[in-house]
Every structure is written in structure tokens, then in C-alpha cells.
Amino acid sequence: MVALATTTAGDGGAVVATFDVPVSTRGEHTVTVSDSMGNSETATFTIVTDVSLNLTTGNIGTEVTISGTGFSGAVTIKYDEIAVATATADASGAFSATFTVPTSTGGEHTVTASDSTNVLQTTFTMESEAPSTVVLLLPEADSKEKAGVYFDWKDVTDPSGVTYTLQIATDENFTEGSILLEKEGLTESEYTIPEGEELQPTKKEAPCYWRVKAIDGASNESEWSAAGSFYISFAFALPDWAKYTLIGLGVVLVGFLGFWMGRRTAYSSF
């Protein structure tokens, strides 16, 4: 039992006293008033533990403040299972802490505040709006390209950040088995096929098709862009052995010409 206040009974034994509620656990607590004659009366005081967010919806990276009452000591704040902040309850059991919403999927997420005794939860809703549909820029429709094709499309912005997925296929419907190349998690609105992944030459009548979609940090996905088309030109390239053979013949020819010119010079001197 904790003594909270003293006072003097007035006429008729009436008692009035004011006290600060000490740090206590959530639930009902008994308040006892007693005098020196052994008289006592009790009443019930209920500690209500509560938490609230200043923002209940937002994006990845949103700054959110959580406030609570009825807690004691160290308070841990979790977003789902991720510890995002800590605080210390004051003498009245109140606390406040600010945290940054971490990467998470669209929809509801549980925010938990807990101390050594209390565990209380509330809900933060991550935005579920998909990014805008991508608009393709290059290569232009039905254009002839080199094997190391350069792709470009308009930027898509989103408060939660954006990455892109690029697909290239032999079928304009991008059916299973027709995908030639897929690149996920692209952070820039452009991509060049690197050496070693070049596409094979194709005829204009049987082009390649490409499309892109945007995915924001909350895993909301846009619709696929309209499909673009292009074809790869045939490039003549000598094999290494042929290159070396030609180089060797060139060396021999240069040597022969030098020898021949030397002999002509020698004969002309007579």
C-alpha cells in the first residue's frame, strides 16, 4: 500500500484530498481512506492503458508518433515484428515516441507498445495504390536494333519508391516459354543488354516484344505497359581463326611488298 496524501476531515467527517496516480499496471486498483480512529472506506480506481498514432495511414518512410498512457519504465515499439523505437514512461505512465515506417506491403500492419507488464496494439495501414503504368520510349516500334539493345521508358514516381521489371519475349502475349529475358528490381528507367546476354538476330516479320511494369516499395504493382516491338539485325563477324589468318596474310603481303620494292630499287640503281 502506498500513502498518497493526507488531509483533515471537515464537519460531519467529510474528506477531500487530491493525489497523483502513481505508476501502476492496467486495471482496477483500490483507493483506501482511513483515519486515526480505525475507520476506513475504499473505492476503485481503474488504470486505462491506451496507445494512439498521430497518423494511421501513409507510405514507407512516413514519420509516425505513437503516444500512450498507463505504462511504466521502458517501452518498446514494434511495427509488426520489427522494433522501430523505444521510450520511457514518465511518472504518470505516459510516453511518446516517433518512428519511421519501414518497408512493408500494402494493407494493415500491427503497431505494438509493450513494457514489462502491458502489451497494447493499434493499426497502421500502408497505402495500397499501384504506381502509374509505364510508358515506353526506346526502342521505337518495329525498329532495327543491335544485339546489345538499349531500352528506355518514362520515370514513374511513388512516395514509397519504385523499381521496374523488364520482359522481352518472342510472343506479343508473353506466354510461358516465350520469355527471352526478364530483369527484376531495376532502379533506373533504362536498361542496356550487357555483353554475354545479347539477343539473337531476328527477322522483321518475327520481331521481339518488350514490356515494363513498376513496383513500389509497398509491393503494389502497376499494369504491364503496352508491348513494344523491335528486331535484331544480322551482323557479320569473322571467327577468331579467320581474323588471325587475315592478319598473318597481311603481314606476309607487307613483307613481300617490301622485299619486291627493295629489289626494284636495287635493279634501278644499275
Instruction: Give per-residue pLDDT as tens, 65-122.
Output: 999 998 989 999 999 999 999 999 998 889 999 999 999 999 999 999 999 989 999 9
Q: Could you tell me if residue 239 is inside a domain?
A: no
122 and 54 within one domain: yes
For residue 103, how many C-alpha atoms fall within 13 Å in the half-sphere facing its CB?
A: 6
Residues 161 and 227 both lie in one domain:
yes
Beta strands in 115-248 (DSSP E): 119-126, 136-138, 143-145, 150-153, 162-169, 179-186, 190-192, 208-216, 228-232
Residues 6+ apart with CB under 8 A from 29: 44, 45, 46, 47
Same domain, 114 and 86: yes
Residue 146 shares a structural domain with residue 228? yes
Mark whether 40 and 54 lie in a shared domain.
Answer: no
pLDDT at residue 9 in the model: 79
Burial class (CB in 10 A: 0-12, 13-18, 19+), 180: middle
Which candidate, 120, 129, 128, 123, places its Cα nearest to that of 64? Answer: 123
Say whether pLDDT at 17 is over 90: no
SS3 assignment, position 32: strand
**What are the tens digits of pLDDT across the range 217-240?**
999 999 999 999 999 986 544 456
Reported pTM: 0.67
For residues 216 and 146, state if they share a domain: yes
Is 260 part of a structural domain of the chain? no
- Count how many domains the chain has: 3
Is the same domain home to 42 and 103?
Answer: no
For residue 165, being part of any structural domain is answered with: yes
User: Could you tell me the residue range of the domain that residue 67 belongs to?
Assistant: 50-126
Judge whether 262 lies within some domain: no
CATH number for the domain that contains residue 152: 2.60.40.10
* 42, 58: one domain: no
Q: Is residue 117 part of a domain?
A: yes
Q: What is the pLDDT of residue 235?
A: 56
pLDDT tens for residues 157-199?
Answer: 999 999 999 999 999 999 999 999 999 999 999 999 998 888 8
Using the structure block, give the residue that is written with the C-alpha cell 521508358. 153
Same domain, yes or no: 97 and 179: no
Residues 136, 228: contact at Cβ < 8 Å?
Answer: yes
Cβ–Cβ under 8 Å, residues 73 and 115: yes
- pLDDT for 53 beyond 80: yes
In a domain, 4, yes or no: no
